[in-house]
Amino acid sequence: MSHRIVIVGGGAGGLELATRLGRTLGKKGKAQVTLVDANLTHIWKPLLHEVAAGSLNSSEDELNYVAQAKWNHFEFQLGRLSGLERATKRIQLAATLDEDGRELLPARTLSYDTLVLAIGSTTNDFGTAGAAQHCIFLDTREQAERFHKQLLTHYLRAHANRDKDDQISVSIVGAGATGVELSAELHHAARELAAYGLNGIQPENMRITLIEAGPRVLPALPERISQPVHRTLEKLGVRVMIGAPVKEVTAEGLKTANGEFIPASLKVWAAGIRASSLLKDLDGLESNRINQLVVRPTLQTTRDDDIFAFGDCAACPLGDGSERTVPPRAQAAHQQASLLAKAIAARLESKPLPEYKYTDYGSLISLSRFSAVGNLMGNLMGSVKLEGWLARMFYVSLYRMHQVALYGLTRTTLMMIGDRIGRSTEPRLKLH
């Protein structure tokens, strides 16, 4: 029997790894590669703010796991991880239910020789009162589409009532990349909705408030990046509140630590991350305070050489001599997937495993069609700041690089041509 590699989690990192291993080990019969995910389709998580605003139709940009598996010589299993049996090298998958609660797939187990956990992260509400009940998170496609439907409902209701003075207030907690990009994308959506005749709510009557507990927007990025982003958001009419921790969320709005109440029709929580609670003490594996699995530079878990973890669900040493860990960013997951593809191949040949060291290639923030800001980092040019059209082009290229890793250059080029043609025949905003 060939070596059994099971990858749990079909996000950007897990899907790239399954594709790479399928094209090499799976195609040559050196290993049996299986990808497990709770959904049938994949969409790149950094695009979810565009799905929420309606700028992106998720049905057109989704990837089908079954088809991807067929094309790239791996197997796909639909299921959600529910447990781990390290002694017998098996994972447990929970039963899959339909929308009416009927069982589609029974609970079952899968055996592995090498297990890779790449189940990503979810938003961390830090236990804030009312956040889970009244806020929408943007961790999944379903959540993003739920926000879009609620937004569109407000516009359709105002249009039906022909109330030209109607308003909508949106509050976004967390001024990281998701919160900032969603704020700008919603401002763009307000203009587009009015242009399509849904002008019961005028663009200036969409009140967007971006709330950040820290001293500035984009706290994880250099200040020279956050300052122009802050100014651009304010020019777009977004109210930016910094140094304003949210203490409670109600159906009517949010209360900050200083006692201010911010009315909000729609509320989004985009502050902080944590890994799934399932990973906390998962059959004895070491985890940290936000449930991430602690791994060594080889990306092997500290207590089991046969289990790897990477991406947002793993706490990997940064490699700079400090106690800091690799930041939860898409570029880190991509780098780790590339390293693991080589490491697992080396493991099958009993060779030493390479160690991962994070390389920061910079950051790019999209402000919808209005602008983009970021910095690129490299050995030859150091850190170069980008703004405007050029930054926007680099931002778009990040998604195209993800597509190339999954589809190859030829198919990605054809998809780009199809996207260009589609823009001339379809609405510029999803209206349903």
Confidence of residue 384 (pLDDT cuts 50, 70, 90): low
The answer on pLDDT for 427 being more than 80 is no
* 304 and 395 inside one domain: no
**Residue 69 is assigned to a structural domain of this protein:** yes
The residue with greater pLDDT, 202 or 370, is 202
Give residue 293's domain range.
Answer: 3-121+275-348
Q: Which regions of 174-292 does DSSP assign to beta strands (E)?
A: 206-211, 239-241, 246-249, 253-256, 261-263, 266-269, 273-274
Cα(427)–Cα(187) distance, rounded to whole angstroms? 17
Question: Given 269, 289, 315, which residue is the final one in a domain?
Answer: 269
Among candidate residues 265, 350, 336, 247, the one with its CA nearest the CA of residue 295? 336
**What single DSSP character describes residue 284?**
G
pLDDT of residue 361: 77
In the Cβ-directed half-sphere of 401, how many Cα atoms lie within 13 Å? 11
When the pLDDT of each residue in the chain is averaged and rounded to a whole number, the result is 89
pLDDT in tens, 184-235: 999 999 999 888 888 888 889 999 999 999 999 998 888 888 888 899 999 9
* 253 and 373 inside one domain: no
**Residue 390 is assigned to a structural domain of this protein:** yes
The answer on pLDDT for 421 being more than 80 is no
Q: 3-class secondary structure for 9-49?
A: CCCHHHHHHHHHHHHHHHCCCCEEEEEEECCCEECCHHHHH
Count the domains in the chain: 3
The answer on pLDDT for 44 being more than 80 is yes
CA 330 to chain centre: 8
pLDDT of residue 174: 96
Confidence of residue 329 (pLDDT cuts 50, 70, 90): confident
Confidence of residue 376 (pLDDT cuts 50, 70, 90): low
DSSP 63-131: EEHHHHHHHHT-EEEE-EEEEEETTTTEEEEEPEE-TTS-EEE--EEEE-SEEEE----EE--TT-BTH
* 67 and 22 inside one domain: yes
**What single DSSP character describes residue 299?**
S
Given the DSSP bridges, would you call strands 31-37 and 75-78 parallel, antiparallel or unpaired? parallel
**Residue 431 is assigned to a structural domain of this protein:** no
**Residue 214 is assigned to a structural domain of this protein:** yes
Cα(318)–Cα(172) distance, rounded to whole angstroms? 30
pLDDT of residue 25: 97
212 phi and psi angles, rounded to 5 deg: -130, 130
Question: Given 300, 316, 348, which residue is the final one in a domain?
Answer: 348
* 110 and 142 inside one domain: no
The token duo for 272 is 């902080």
Question: Given 348, 381, 407, which residue is the final one in a domain?
Answer: 348
**Residue 102 is assigned to a structural domain of this protein:** yes
Of the listed ranges 75-89, 288-302, 318-332, 364-378, the least confidently predicted one is 364-378
The answer on pLDDT for 395 being more than 70 is no
**Residue 126 is assigned to a structural domain of this protein:** no
* 148 and 252 inside one domain: yes
* 264 and 283 inside one domain: no
**Residue 429 is assigned to a structural domain of this protein:** no
Average pLDDT over residues 339-364: 92
pLDDT in tens, 8-26: 999 999 999 999 999 999 9
Find out whether 108 and 238 touch, Cβ atoms under 8 Å.
Answer: no
Average pLDDT over residues 285-296: 97
Q: For the whole model, what pTM was predicted?
A: 0.90
pLDDT of residue 414: 85
* 72 and 108 inside one domain: yes
pLDDT of residue 379: 45
Q: Which regions of 311-426 does DSSP assign to beta strands (E)?
A: 314-315, 362-367, 371-378, 382-387
Q: CATH number for the domain including 93?
A: 3.50.50.60
The answer on pLDDT for 163 being more than 70 is no
**Residue 356 is assigned to a structural domain of this protein:** no
Average pLDDT over residues 63-72: 96
How would you label 326-342 residue by residue, b for 16+ Cβ within 10 Å and e otherwise? bebbbbbbbbbbbbbbe
* 334 and 380 inside one domain: no
Of the listed ranges 53-57, 232-236, 360-364, 387-391, the least confidently predicted one is 387-391
pLDDT of residue 320: 72
